[in-house]
Chains A and B, each alone.
Chain A
Amino acid sequence: RSLVDHLGNDTLLLVAGDHGMTETGDHGGEGEKEVNAALFVYSKTPLFGPGLPEEPEAVPQVNLVPTVALLLGVPIPYSNIGEVMAELFSGDGDTVSAALQQLLVYHINAKQVDRFLHSYSLVAQDLPAEQLQRLQELFSSAVEEHAQLLAQVQRATLVPPELESRLGSLIGRFQLYLREARAVCTQSWARFHPLRMVGGCTLIAASCLLCYVASELAAAPDSFYRSCLLYPLLWGLVVAVLLGLAHAFTQEGLDLLLVSSWAAAASQLGFFWHWWGWHPKRARLAGSQPPLASIGLRQRLRMWLGLAFPMGILLFRCGAMFSDSFVVGEARGGKLHWDGRLTVAEGPKQQILGFSSYRREIWYLLCLVVMLLVCVRLSGFFHQCREEIPQCRPSLFLSPLASLRNTRAKNLFYLLCVALLAGLVYAVRSWLRRYGNLNSSDPLVLFVRWGFPLVVLCIACYWAVASSADDSLGKLQELVQVAVVAFPWAVYGLASVGLLLLLCNPMTVLAKDTRESAGSIVTPYLGVPSSEVDFLHVIPQIYKRMQESQKSRLERGSCRATVAAYGLGSVYSAALVIALTLLGFLLMLLHSERLTLAFLLLFLEAFVLLHIHTHARGLAGDAEPFSVPWYAVISWLLAASQFFYSTGHQPVFPAIHWNAAFVGFHLDHSTNLLPAVLVGANTFASHILFAVGCPLLLLWPFVCEMPSSQRRKPKKEPREELQEAEEHMMEMRLRESPEKFSTALLQLGLKYLFVLGTQLLSCVCAAMILRRHLMVWKVFAPKFLFEALGFVVSSTCLLLGFSLVMRVDCAVSTWFSQLQLR
């Protein structure tokens, strides 16, 4: 009321709701009451005639745009398809002038809609041509008549009653045109393909099921993999080719999407067919072996319970995708699920143990969990905001340093970021040194030693140049322009050199040959020297000791010599860690400077997660060292999605960091591909890192084997230590049983894909079921797009990570065979 009192005579008050509400307070559905909202129009000058209708007709919401635009005197927006509300344009004159005014408004509106439809039909073909033609005719005839009528009015040859009727009919024709145009557009645009949607969902669900089934088939024979995984692929290919041929013969347009989905469906059918055929056989096999069959009901129940918890968490997360407020608040809500999941998952583990013998381990584990919680909590400081949460303030760390006014704060933050980078390099190097992977003089190791600091230097220089105030440098402007482009390119170049080196020769092993004819390989010894000097002392000692022991053996008769290989025990993880660090550098370069903190947290959290996984496993006892439990995979993936938010992203389009496309490029791109790659890498940074690092889940327990046992038995006689070292083969255990290794890798990948796929499936289902929801374009559809792209990026990177491991495996094999030859 107070607002109404302050209104001027020339002001129009419009109060519009965006949606209605059912009696129970629900909204966002398709019901009559939810779709219709109130529109309140008020003005001090009378707008409407005396005969107000009791039940005014409903006005489509799109009509607000042209009406308000014309009332404000601005052009109607280009892509509007609404119709003006004529009542608001009657003015205060007599009926004829009012009708003329309305006619003018309708004319403007119709012209705009016609222009839009014309240019739209040039670009897209989804509007039917004949209807467009009809609309065009309707429009041109109406415009013609309008011109005639105006001419007649100007000549004043018409008497008012006739004029009024003709004006009315013309307005009616314009209205008809506008409404039909809108109807045509609605028909074409607001259209869903329920069949395709259901088909797509089924495909995704079937793929998830496939991943699950295949990952549960532990230690299946080789022939099974061939029949279940290779032949179905061939089936799919055959179907694709057949469909392609059919299309070629019938001369129809080839719908690539349909063909590929049919091919996928065929290959999945093939898989399930083979699996079903193979299943009874396996059951019979199991039946013939009593120990396998006689797994007690209780044990099986417990196994199911163990599986149920992580799966329940996954289900929770997927269910949360169906609620718009959970999707909006996922950055916060996800964190909550996550913490709970992890800690509680560790809980039963601790319960299983009697406490006395493992007490120290438990405390260590608890410390790790607390550290994890701290990481998660701290990573909450880097969140971006969505516009749905008005009280949210975006994190300070997201803006680039250049936007900081305070010079001191800027310098401080800059130094902090550079120090963090240097710390990361130091941590990686000391990790590698600890595991003995930094001793050889291979190009890769040299790169780690000298290339990493160089990369950091380049990044630091780039940040310095980019964050300095533009005007302060004066004459150096041109130099700065060059430097802004040159430094990122240097980083790109160095990183790609590093990755190439990694691919060419991923071995970071220092081998010492004692005899000219080497027979067996012993002792992947792990030196833990504190300094370079110490190191120089330690090696010869150990070396001598080993020689002595070997001599004693030689005396026993066998003519064998030794090769001491340093760092063989962690050769796989070392390659992965180097690759991850390089990727991390690249991604940090693409983000704004202060997000380095978030990346550091990411690496720290991944490290803590790996350690928790390893220790929980060590406590539970080595049941199956070659299979990664579900909870580890799920927590790894949850961490990936948590850091998607914590690197300053949100699944909405305004939150994309577009300036990542211009790191190393000065304002011009010849193609769309390169900026797309850069922005994509920026957006899915955490997905990339976690997917590439996924094999670490399998490798880490093997890597950590040695130090833990060393700690437990600190004092050893030299002899015993040697035997101990022989026992601790770390990752070389994987080499011992190559089939198991490859099976484990496959299982891990399938589990990862299953979890990813379930998330994607729930997103797709949410977008499909809620396609008429109020927030679908704001919340669910962008979420779905981001999740789908993230799935693609993750699975690609997963494959890359696994292929890196396999490349290392090949290199190790050749290394061994070379040794054997010598």
Chain B
Amino acid sequence: MREAEIRRLGAANLLGVVSIALTAVVPGFFWDGFTVLGTHLAWLCVCSVWVGTLNVILHLVFKPNLSPKRSSFAHKISRFLKCCIYFFMSCILFHAIIVLYGAPLIESVTETFLFAVLLSTFTTLQCLCMLGPNIQAWIRVFSKNGAMSVWESSLQITTMCSILGAWFGAFPIPLDWDRPWQVWPISCSLGATFGYTAGLVIAPLWIHWNRKQLTYKSR
């Protein structure tokens, strides 16, 4: 059962990686002059929307958070609205954190905000899909030995990797190489994306590697 779960996780993550790669290529066919670097903002939007929808679809297909409890339609609606509010709040929070970390305060607000949206897509949206709007569960997952399933371990790893990637992406900005990708926020968003993909690839491998040590408590 565990093996099968890991395989499913691997398939889902592989799909995620491929879809991110496609976001860089596919819009170019429909839209002349679309490049990741040249029209970065458009790419940011496309990537966030695409990864977001993919996550939601995957979530609906795989249903990793075993919550078979039937709930009413109204409950579902309120849950959905709550998720939306949480997502928006996390975007704003990320924006504030990015600004605190040294992004320009007033100029290029759009870029910063879209970057924040991308980051929230990589981190918060996944949490929302997996755990629902339940802060307690989030804290549980992100504290030590808190993960209760393969999916939650994967969530931990990808979240960490995307945030670390975004952080490392800021390193080349002060260099004087005058490359087009050194402009704010391209290197950071690319770093976050690479971190996310790396997380997607690493997570199944790591779980597979450590499957002996990982013991998930049942609820």
CB contacts (< 8 Å) of B167 on chain A: these are 340, 344
For chain B, the count of residues having a C-beta within 8 Å of the partner chain is 19
CB contacts (< 8 Å) of A376 on chain B: these are 100
Complex Cα–Cα for A339 and B99 (A): 12
Once the chains bind, are A351 and B174 in contact (CB under 8 Å)? no
Does A219 have its Cβ within 8 Å of any Cβ on chain B? no
For chain A, the count of residues having a C-beta within 8 Å of the partner chain is 26
Complex Cα–Cα for A340 and B175 (A): 18
CB contacts (< 8 Å) of B139 on chain A: these are 355, 359
Interface of B is mostly: loop
CB contacts (< 8 Å) of B100 on chain A: these are 339, 370, 373-374, 376-377
Contact flag A332-B101 (CB < 8 Å), given A340-B167, A352-B144, A355-B143? no
Q: 8 Å CB contacts to A: which residues of B76-102? A: 97, 99-102
Does B140 have its Cβ within 8 Å of any Cβ on chain A? yes
Contact flag A333-B174 (CB < 8 Å), given A340-B167, A377-B100, A377-B102? yes
Does B43 have its Cβ within 8 Å of any Cβ on chain A? no
Does A723 have its Cβ within 8 Å of any Cβ on chain B? no
Once the chains bind, are A325 and B101 in contact (CB under 8 Å)? no
Once the chains bind, are B102 and A380 in contact (CB under 8 Å)? yes
Once the chains bind, are B174 and A325 in contact (CB under 8 Å)? yes
What residue in chain A is nearest B174 (Cβ atoms)? A329
Complex Cα–Cα for A324 and B175 (A): 8
Contact flag A332-B143 (CB < 8 Å), given A325-B174, A325-B175, A325-B176? no
Does B113 have its Cβ within 8 Å of any Cβ on chain A? no
Does A73 have its Cβ within 8 Å of any Cβ on chain B? no
How many pairs of residues, A versus B, come closer than 8 Å at their CB atoms?
A: 51
Q: Quick one: CB contact mask for A352-385 with B, threshold 8 Å, 1 for yes?
A: 1111000100000000001001101100100000
Does A559 have its Cβ within 8 Å of any Cβ on chain B? no
Does A743 have its Cβ within 8 Å of any Cβ on chain B? no
CB contacts (< 8 Å) of A67 on chain B: these are none
Q: 8 Å CB contacts to B: which residues of A399-451? A: none
Complex Cα–Cα for A333 and B101 (A): 10
Contact flag A326-B142 (CB < 8 Å), given A374-B100, A377-B99, A380-B102? no
Does A335 have its Cβ within 8 Å of any Cβ on chain B? yes
CB-contact partner of A354 in B97, B143, B171, under 8 A: B143
Does B46 have its Cβ within 8 Å of any Cβ on chain A? no
Once the chains bind, are B175 and A326 in contact (CB under 8 Å)? yes
CB contacts (< 8 Å) of B175 on chain A: these are 323, 325-326
Once the chains bind, are B140 and A355 in contact (CB under 8 Å)? yes
Once the chains bind, are B144 and A351 in contact (CB under 8 Å)? yes
Q: 8 Å CB contacts to B: which residues of A640-661? A: none
Q: 8 Å CB contacts to A: which residues of B37-93? A: none
CB contacts (< 8 Å) of A323 on chain B: these are 175
Q: How far is the CB of B206 from chain A (nearest CB, A)?
A: 15
Does B36 have its Cβ within 8 Å of any Cβ on chain A? no
Does A336 have its Cβ within 8 Å of any Cβ on chain B? yes
CB contacts (< 8 Å) of A102 on chain B: these are none
Complex Cα–Cα for A355 and B146 (A): 9
Q: List 22 A-B contacts (CB under 8 A).
A: A323-B175, A325-B174, A328-B174, A332-B174, A333-B173, A336-B101, A339-B100, A339-B101, A339-B102, A340-B167, A344-B167, A351-B142, A351-B144, A353-B144, A354-B143, A354-B144, A355-B139, A355-B143, A359-B139, A370-B100, A373-B101, A376-B100
Chain A to chain B: the 7 pairs with minimum beta-carbon distance, closest first: A329-B174, A325-B176, A373-B100, A351-B144, A333-B174, A355-B143, A325-B175
